[in-house]
Structure 1
Amino acid sequence: MAIRLTDVANEAGVSLATASRVLNGSARKPAAEISDKVRAAAEKLGYFPNAQAQALARASTKLIGLVVRDIADPYFSTIARGVQRGLGDSGTQLLLASTDSEPEREIEAVRAFMSQRTDAIILSGSRGQSEDDGLLKLIENYQENGGQVVVIGQPLASTGGIQVDNETTSENLAGELIRAGHRKFVVLAGDENLLTSRHRAQGFLSKLKRTGLAAVDVFHGAFSREGAYMAMSDYLRVRKPEEADQQVCVFCVSDVMALGAIRAVRESGLRVPEDIAVVGFDDIPTLEDVTPSISTARLPLEEIGRWAGEMVLSHGDARKMVVTGTPVLRDSSRLHSDNR
C-alpha cells in the first residue's frame, strides 16, 4: 500500500498543507522544529515526494478563490470586501464564485479554482449537518499539492479559518431581550439542515429554557428573505387572540430574514415594534437604511473577511479563530409601553 502525504501529516501531527510545504519544496517554510518532525515522519513511513506536487508547491499564481453562498446577500458581499482589504497591496487577485446554496456548485467552484492553480481557496457559507465527502476529498487533494484552504463559518476537517460562535451569540441576544422586558417569543429558525440557522435557533431557545421561558412557536423554512416572509405570514394567520394582547418578539436567524418578516407584518396591517417586535442576526450594512432600526447580533463581517485574507497571505495553515457577536438592541425591539 502506497504511503500518502496524508499519512505523513497524521504521523507528524500537522496539516496536509504544512507537510506539503516541507516535502514539496515550497518557498513558504514552517518553523524548523515542525519541518524536522515532518521529515522524520516521512523517513519513518518511507514516503517519497511527488515531482508534480513539488512543482506546484514552488509555483505561485497570485490568485485566491473565494466561494460564497450568495453574493447578492449583504452578509457575503461585506465579507468579500473584507477579504479584498486583507489582501491589500500584495498583488494577489481575488476570484469569486457564488453557489446559490447548491452544494454541487460549491464542488464545481473548488474544482474550477484548482484548475486555475489558485494559491488558496476561502470557503464562506453555512454547511449542512454532514460534511460532503466529495468536497473533503477535493480539499485534501488540493492541500496535498500545496494549496491552502481557509473556511469562514463552520469548521471543516483539516482546514483553518474563522469560526462564528452562532450559538453563544444567540444566547447573549436572547438574554438582552429578556433583560429589556420581553417575555413572549416566536423564532423564525430558517433551514434546520443548515448549521448556521440551526445553531442560532438552538442558542436562542436554550437561553429561553434556562430562564424559564418557552417560544410561543418555532417556524422552519428557507434561510432567506422570502422564506422569512412566508414563515411570518404563516404565524400571523395562526396566532391566538391572546398573543395579540401582549407584544410578541420575533427572532429571525438572519437580518435578511428580519427584513422579510417586517414586510409580512406591514402587509398584514400591523406595526413594528408597536404590535410585533422583530430582531435579526448579523448587522449587515443594509440595516442603516431601514426604519425602524433593527435590533440584531453584530458580527464584524468586514473584519472577518479581512482576517481571512491576512491568514492566506501569512500562510496560517489550520490556524483557527472563534468570533462571538455582540447584541445590539434598536427600535425594532422596543417594548411597547402597554406591555411594560
Structure 2
Amino acid sequence: MPRTSSTRPPGSAATLQQVATAAGVSLATASRVLHGSGGRRVAEELAERVTAAAAELRYVAHAPAQSLARSRSTVVGVLVHDIADPYFAAIAAGAMQVAREHDLMVLVANTFRDPALERDYLARLRAQRARAVLLAGSAFAGEPFAEELAGFAAAGGRVAAIGARGEGIDTVEPDHAGGGRLVAEHLTALGHREIGVVTGPAGLATVAQRLSGFTEVVASPHVVGADFTREGGRAAAHELLRAYPRITALFALNDLMAAGVLAALREAGRSVPGEVSVVGFDDLPVATDLTPGLTTVRLDLAGIGAQAMRLMLDDEPGGRTCPAPAELVIRASTGPVRS
C-alpha cells in the first residue's frame, strides 16, 4: 500500500518526490511511471503503487516542465578522473568519435578522483539538461551515487559507465580481474615466487579488481600503494626493493607506474628482465617505446569509450552490461627466474 504523507500543506501541489516517498519507490521509478522517462519498464506492482499514491495526493504533472525535461540537447558529458592520464584520454577519444557521428558536443570534466566533485559535475550537467553522461572513472568504494544518478535519469538524461556504477545503468565492464589473473599466471609460469605489486589509490574499484585477479593465483604478493603516475610507481618500486631485496618480479597496476618501476630498477642497478621482470596494465602506446618493451595487459580503451557512448545514445532500456576482454601482451620486460 502507498505510504502517503500528511506533511503537505493544505492547498499546495504535490511534488513528484512526495509521490515517490508515499509509494516507497525512487524518484526515477516514479518519473518512469508517470512521465515515461528513462526508457526502462517498471514492474506492475511498483507501477500500481505509484499511480495509487499519485491519485491519493492529487499529483498533476507540470506539462511545460515535463516537455522541457524530455527535450534532448546536443550536449553529452564525459567525467574522467584525470584527462592527463593516457588511459582516460584514450577512452574519451573513443567516446568523442561516436558523439561526432551523432553531431553532439562533448564536455569533458576532470574529477581528480574526488567523488564529491563527480557528484557536483553530474548536478551541473543535469541543470544544463545534458542529453547523457558517461562516467569513465572507476567507482569509489563506499560512495553511494544512486540518488544523483536517479535524479539525472528522472530529468530525462541517460547514463553509461565504464565499470559497474549501479542498477539500471548501461555498463561497459573491462575484465580487470581477468587481466590481473593473466599476469599472475604468466609470472608463476616463468618461475617467479617473490613478486611485488604496485597498486593504485585505495578505494577505487579498478584497483581492487586488478589486485583480486592477481591474488587468485599469487596468494601473498608484497604490495605497496602509489599514485597512478610514473613517479608513484618509481617511489613504490624503491620501497619494495628495500623491504624485499629478493623480489624477482614487479607488477604495476597501470603502464605509467610500470614506467616508473623500470626507472627505479635502473637506478638500483637491477637488470630487466635478467634480475627482475616487470609487467604493466592497459597497453598504452608508450609500452612499446620503453626499454625493454613492456609486457602488459591490453584493453581496447578507445573501443570501450566508443561502446559506452553508443549504449547511452540509443533508445534501448538501460541496465545492459557489455564485457570488454583483457589480453596479455608479452614483450621483453619479462623472463624466467635466473637460476
TM-score (norm 1): 0.83
Distance in 1 separating the partners of 2:43 and 2:147: 27
The 1:157/1:29 distance shift into structure 2, 3 A limit, reads closer
Confirm or deny that 1:198 pairs with 2:198. Answer: no
Q: Paired residue for 1:299?
A: 299
1:211-262, Cα deviation, whole Å (9 max, x unpaired): xxx42x211232332222111111222333xx17xxx110111111111111
Q: Which moved more, 1:47-56 or 1:303-312?
A: 47-56
Deviation at 1:162, TM superposition (A): 1.2
Q: Which runs of 5+ in 1 are unaligned?
A: none
Aligned counterparts, 1:261-300, within 5 A: 261-300=261-300
Q: Which moved more, 1:113-122 or 1:264-273?
A: 264-273
Amino acid at match of 1:290: L
Q: Which moved more, 1:58-67 or 1:264-273?
A: 264-273
Deviation at 1:283, TM superposition (A): 1.2
Q: Is contact 2:115–2:143 with CA below 8 Å preserved after alignment?
A: no
Q: Paired residue for 1:232?
A: 237
Provide the secondary structure at the position in 1 that maps to 2:133.
strand
1:188-228, Cα deviation, whole Å (9 max, x unpaired): 1222322211221122122123xxxx42x211232332222
Q: Is contact 2:172–2:321 with CA below 8 Å preserved after alignment?
A: yes
Q: Paired residue for 2:325?
A: 324
Distance in 2 separating the partners of 1:239 and 1:25: 60
Q: Paired residue for 1:79?
A: 91
The 1:299/1:6 distance shift into structure 2, 3 A limit, reads farther
Q: CA RMSD in A?
A: 2.9
1:74-133, Cα deviation, whole Å (9 max, x unpaired): 10000001101222421111110011222222122212212221011111112221124x
1:240-287, Cα deviation, whole Å (9 max, x unpaired): 3xx17xxx1101111111111111111222222222111011112222
Q: Paired residue for 1:188?
A: 198
Q: Paired residue for 1:222?
A: 227
Distance in 2 separating the partners of 1:9 and 1:142: 20
The 1:282/1:40 distance shift into structure 2, 3 A limit, reads same
The 1:335/1:63 distance shift into structure 2, 3 A limit, reads same
Distance in 1 separating the partners of 2:321 and 2:24: 18
1:35-74, Cα deviation, whole Å (9 max, x unpaired): 8958656434436563265123331111100000000101
The 1:154/1:36 distance shift into structure 2, 3 A limit, reads closer
Q: Which runs of 5+ in 2 are unaligned?
A: 6-13
The structure 1 residue matched to 2:115, chosen from 94, 97, 103, is 103
Amino acid at match of 2:239: D
Q: Paired residue for 2:35?
A: 24
Provide the secondary structure at the position in 1 that maps to 2:333.
helix
Confirm or deny that 1:145 pairs with 2:146. Answer: no
Aligned counterparts, 1:54-73, within 5 A: 54-73=66-85
Q: How many equivalent pairs are there? A: 319
Distance in 2 separating the partners of 1:224 and 1:325: 21
Q: What is the identity percentage for the equivalent residue pairs of Structure 1 and Structure 2? A: 32
Provide the secondary structure at the position in 2 that maps to 1:188.
strand
Amino acid at match of 2:315: H
Distance in 1 separating the partners of 2:202 and 2:79: 22
Q: Which moved more, 1:280-289 or 1:36-45?
A: 36-45
Amino acid at match of 2:328: P
Q: Paired residue for 1:156?
A: 166
Q: Is contact 1:16–1:158 with CA below 8 Å preserved after alignment?
A: no
Q: Which moved more, 1:86-95 or 1:49-58?
A: 49-58
Higher-helix-fraction structure = 1
Confirm or deny that 1:46 pairs with 2:47. Answer: no
Provide the secondary structure at the position in 2 that maps to 1:50.
coil
Amino acid at match of 2:227: A
Aligned counterparts, 1:124-139, within 5 A: 124-132=136-144, 135-139=145-149
Q: Paired residue for 1:333?
A: 334
TM-score (norm 2): 0.83
Q: Paired residue for 2:9?
A: none
Amino acid at match of 2:124: A
